Amino acid sequence: MRKYFQAICCHLIKSGNKDGVPPIIDLTGQVAESNGSDAAVARQLNAAFLILLAGTRHPQFKQAEARLNQLAESANWHNIAQFYLTAKENIEEEIDRTCNQDHGFANRLRHLSGLLENSDPHTNLAKATESIWSVFFPEGTGLSSNPEDSIKHLREKRTVTISRLNPAPIIDPAREILFTSNVLLTLPSDLKSNDSSNCSEILTQTLGQMSQEPQLYWYDHPIHIGVKPQNNELLYGLRGLKEALDFEHERGSTAPDTSLTCILSVSVTHHGLHKIARPYLNEELSRAGLLKNIDVYMFTEEDTARLIDEVLGPSAEYYLKHFEPAKELSMLGVDGEYGRHYSFLKAIAAFWKVFISQNIKATFKIDLDQIFPQTDLVAQTGASAFEHFKTSLWGARGIDSRGKGVELGMIAGALVNESDIGNSIYTPDVRFPDRVLAPDEHIFFSVLPQAISTEAEMMARYDNASLDGIATCLQRVHVTGGTNGILIDSLRRHRPFTPSFIGRAEDQAYLLSAIKDSGESLAYLHRDGLIMRHDKEAFAQEAINAAESGRTVGDYLRILYFSTYAGVLPVNKSDLKDTLDPFTGGFISKIPVTVASMRFALKAAALFREKEMDKGLELVTNGTQRLAEAIEFTRGKSSRLQKQYENERRGWDLYYDILDVVAQAIQSNDPFALQLQQTARAIIDDCKVSTQGKGYRSGKSECGSRKSI
């Protein structure tokens, strides 16, 4: 079957096709031409890889093979060239293995090869796209021909018939919900720029030293230290939250003196940022004056380690006779990929209820580039943001379209872009695509099912007989990193988490751990009208642009991780994928190494074709390293990914076992439990943001003598 795959690749990249389907990209000159620059060499290597996939029928095969082997012996280019050579072998093995295991896939591969080989002058690339997707991206087939039917079908699939409403819904969101968000910190985009001039001289020197460290993690649009206040997501998001609370006070939906609690996780891209993160953020918040009626608590990796060492660990040893628990609880933290801090921001609510306040019933996560458009919400939905939380559907039980029981213990809202809200808050933030596909999108075009899912799930209204928001509602699979929450009772009962290796779609990965083959599964309630305005492009465009390469590679890794993760969960993989299709499930592929590697190489080739040489070089350099690590992490029947998932599953079970037993002990006035509670409260108090702009426990700020801005 390998010959069919090679024939497909050859046709898709070979120039000079006189008849039939044209290539998705013309690589003419990308192998032969080189001026010796790093970008030109990277372009050669990348094009050579694609040509190797096409096999010996490609006229430049021998030249490409020789160039890759030559540079694999080079000290400067060995790692990148070796990635491409190894990826070629991995892809061929994956195609052979999948064809042997799945005759349907083999037939689609054979059919596509024949279609491309025998196409006539009337067959264009657009007509062939569905057949190409049938091999590489089957979730996209059929969606574009009749999107209205696709939306209707997906809503029917997501419909839940209510069997019992929540008898004790949220009454006072400001008092009963912990609001959470994640602060992502990175170096200034340019240490000679205005960003760094907003910091003290000492801090600027420290940042200069950190710039020599390797970058550990890549985030979508992190806060660049020293960025001007008007471009700082933390200040923007908290200001929006404060204004939302002020609106609720004025509306009378919560008492005028009510404060809310906001918990922030602090994650960094470089190790050295640990020591300056708290004092820098503490001072920024103090200067901004945003803390009235909002109690902000900031958790760094050091703080989560204290929770383990001083509270959770001793609890496990004393009550559960579980000795040396620190290693098993190491999944609790905030540094790392998105999945790690996402799980922490959910799990901390259960800790809070046991050790800090019994009043807390739920947690709700926002992203800091989002705000509640309160005036628009009231005008178009009849309810404010906090009033939407009071629905008895949140926590209801029901039966899904397949007859399985679900607990709607999670809640999910939707987003509207700042540029669209003037039309309606029900304007989808991802539109149905209507454009010529880029080369890599012929292999994987996630925007299409994302748009279908956005319209079907996020924009659903409870205004008709089939979805009335009383007897029936919608469960959500497609959710966003902000605008979602979970009841603490559901959290402790189902114990969901996102593995800490997940760096993209951590919100959707969270659901995977709660889906069961039998019994009641945990599900997201779609709350019609709970919509936040997404403002990232209005003030954080520079940060978004700076993170483009890392974000792009993260999307490729998502395919590798989701595909492998779905296979290690204790549920039937086919049923799980059927539940998650078309968007989330689209990242669970039968040929993940093939799809991720080809998407990456075609994207890089397109950048080089468009003379975006620096961007192409950055993508090749960053992508080959991270993809190589991810492929190795997910390889084999007993992969490192599987072992890490199993370790983290045990860790989270231990975490909730600890909370269960300590909660009972506190109710019984057990002296050891009461002492643990005092210790926990002291740690939490240390995490509270100072209103005096002091550094972390030192009383001195490392960024206190800034230039005026």
Report the run of H or E that residue 84 belongs to, with start and end: helix 78-101
The least confident of 128-137, 159-168, 283-292 is 283-292
Average pLDDT, the chain: 91
Residue 701 falls within a domain, yes or no?
A: no
Q: Which domain holds residue 12?
A: 2-143
Q: Does residue 339 contact residue 506 with C-beta atoms inside 8 Å?
A: yes
Residue with tokens 């992969």: 639
Can you name the residues that pair with 688 across neighbouring β-strands? 297
Average of per-residue pLDDT across 547-556 = 87
pLDDT digits (tens, 9 = 90+) for 498-541: 999 999 899 999 999 999 988 999 999 999 999 999 997 666 66
The tokens for 113 are: 């090869």
The residue ranking higher by pLDDT, 196 or 662, is 662
- For residue 437, pLDDT over 80 is answered with yes
Question: Quick one: pLDDT band at residue 209, thresholds 50, 70, 90?
Answer: confident
Q: What pairing do the DSSP bridges indicate for beta strands 260-268 and 177-186?
A: parallel
Average of per-residue pLDDT across 125-129 = 78
What pLDDT shows up at residue 122?
62
Question: How far apart are alpha carbons 661 and 319 in whole angstroms?
Answer: 7
Residue 562 falls within a domain, yes or no?
A: no
Annotate 133-166 with DSSP letters as a single string. Answer: HHHH-GGGTTTTT-HHHHHHHHHHHHEEEEEE--
User: Is residue 110 domain-shared with residue 195, that is, in the same domain?
Assistant: no
Residue 479 falls within a domain, yes or no?
A: yes
211: amino acid identity, one letter: S
User: Is residue 412 domain-shared with residue 512, that is, in the same domain?
Assistant: yes
Question: Quick one: pLDDT band at residue 145, thresholds 50, 70, 90?
Answer: confident
User: Is residue 197 domain-shared with residue 108, that is, in the same domain?
Assistant: no
Domain count, the chain: 2
Please give the C-alpha separations between residue 174 and each of 246, 295, 392, 528, in angstroms, as whole numbers.
Answer: 11, 11, 17, 20
User: Is residue 132 domain-shared with residue 192, that is, in the same domain?
Assistant: no
Question: How far apart are alpha carbons 374 and 534 in whole angstroms?
Answer: 13
Average of per-residue pLDDT across 84-90 = 97
Average of per-residue pLDDT across 131-152 = 94
What pLDDT shows up at residue 637?
87
Average of per-residue pLDDT across 487-496 = 98
Please give the C-alpha separations between residue 235 and each of 110, 163, 368, 480, 483, in angstroms, as whole numbers.
Answer: 55, 43, 8, 21, 18
Which residues, 6+ apart, have CB-to-CB distance to 670 below 8 Å? none
The least confident of 20-34, 162-176, 390-404, 436-450 is 20-34
Omega prior to 582 cis, within 30 of 0: yes
Q: Does residue 150 contact residue 157 with C-beta atoms inside 8 Å?
A: no
The least confident of 219-223, 413-417, 444-448 is 219-223
- What's the burial of 230, exposed, middle or buried (CB within 10 Å: 0-12/13-18/19+)? exposed
What pLDDT shows up at residue 189?
72
Residue 153 falls within a domain, yes or no?
A: no
Residue 617 falls within a domain, yes or no?
A: no
What pLDDT shows up at residue 707?
31
The tokens for 23 are: 């290539």
Question: How far apart are alpha carbons 307 and 685 in whole angstroms?
Answer: 12
The tokens for 621 are: 């350099």
User: Is residue 131 domain-shared with residue 241, that is, in the same domain?
Assistant: no
User: Is residue 60 domain-shared with residue 125, that is, in the same domain?
Assistant: yes
CB atoms within 10 A of CB 243: 14
Which residues, 6+ apart, have CB-to-CB distance to 609 below 8 Å? 25, 26, 30
Q: Report the C-alpha dihedral over residues 192, 194, 199, 201, rounded to 10 degrees.
A: 40
Closest CA to 334 of 281, 256, 274, 389: 274
Residue 250 falls within a domain, yes or no?
A: yes
User: Is residue 108 domain-shared with residue 240, that is, in the same domain?
Assistant: no
pLDDT > 90 fraction of the chain, expressed in percent and rounded: 76
Q: What's the pTM value of the predicted model, to 2 decimals?
A: 0.92
The tokens for 587 are: 């990242």
pLDDT digits (tens, 9 = 90+) for 302-345: 999 999 999 999 999 999 999 889 999 999 999 999 999 999 99
Choose the final residue of a domain: 143, 175, 194.
Answer: 143
Choose the final residue of a domain: 143, 175, 193.
Answer: 143
User: Is residue 16 domain-shared with residue 108, that is, in the same domain?
Assistant: yes
What pLDDT shows up at residue 288?
83
Residue 444 falls within a domain, yes or no?
A: no
Residue 697 falls within a domain, yes or no?
A: no
Which residues, 6+ apart, have CB-to-CB distance to 431 below 8 Å? 451
CB atoms within 10 A of CB 573: 13
Q: What pairing do the DSSP bridges indicate for beta strands 484-487 and 362-365?
A: antiparallel
pLDDT digits (tens, 9 = 90+) for 355-410: 999 999 999 999 999 999 999 999 999 999 999 999 999 999 999 999 999 999 99
Closest CA to 24 of 615, 609, 617: 609
User: Is residue 506 domain-shared with residue 377, that is, in the same domain?
Assistant: yes
User: Is residue 129 domain-shared with residue 204, that is, in the same domain?
Assistant: no
The least confident of 69-73, 290-294, 672-676 is 290-294
User: Is residue 385 domain-shared with residue 267, that is, in the same domain?
Assistant: yes
User: Is residue 92 domain-shared with residue 209, that is, in the same domain?
Assistant: no
Residue with tokens 């996209």: 140
